[in-house]
Amino acid sequence: MLLPWRRKHRDANLSRYLDGELDGSEMDEVTERLVLDDSSAERLDAYSIVSRLVDLATGPPGMPDSEAAADRVLGRLAVAPAAGAVLSFANPRYGRRRHLTPALLASLGLLLTAGVTIVGLRRRGIV
C-alpha cells in the first residue's frame, strides 16, 4: 500500500508523462505502471480528457489574420510598411528617442531668466 505522499508523487508523474516531461527511468516506470495498473491508466485518461476539454473550451473559435494584425500594429507605430524598406522610425542610435522633457524645459527657462536678470542688474551697477 502506498503512503499518501508517494501516491501523490506517482500521480504527479502521470501528469508529467501526459505532457512529455518525463524521460529515462521515470518514463520507464510510468510506462510499465500504465500496463500493469488499471487505476493509473484510468487516471491518465481522465487527465488527458480534462486537458483536451480545457483546450477546446478555452481556445479561440477562429484566428484573426496575422498579416492584417501586423499592419495594424505598424499603423499604431505610425510607420508605413514597404517591402524591403529599412526605415528608421527611431533614433538611429538603437532606437532611443530623445526629446525635451517638461523638467528640462523648466530648467532651461530658469537659466534663461537668471541670465537675463543678472545682465539687467549689472547694467544698473547693482551686481
Q: Which residues bind another protein (CB under 8 A)?
A: 11-12, 15-16, 19, 21, 46-47, 49-64, 66-67, 69-70, 72-74, 76-77, 79, 81-90, 92, 94-96
Whichever of 69 and 119 has its CB closer to another protein, that residue is 69
Query: For residues 73 and 119, which CB has a smaller minimum distance to another protein in the complex?
Result: 73
Q: Which amino acid appears at position 57 of this protein?
A: A
How far apart are CB 74 and another protein at their closest, in Å?
Answer: 6
Query: Is there a contact between 9 and 22 (Cβ–Cβ < 8 Å)?
Result: no
Least distance between another protein and beta carbon 105 (Å): 23
Closest CB to another protein among residues 4, 125:
4
Calpha distance 117→94 (Å, rounded) = 41
Distance CA 28, CA 115 (A): 82
Residue 15's contacts (CB-CB under 8 Å, 6 or more residues apart) are 47
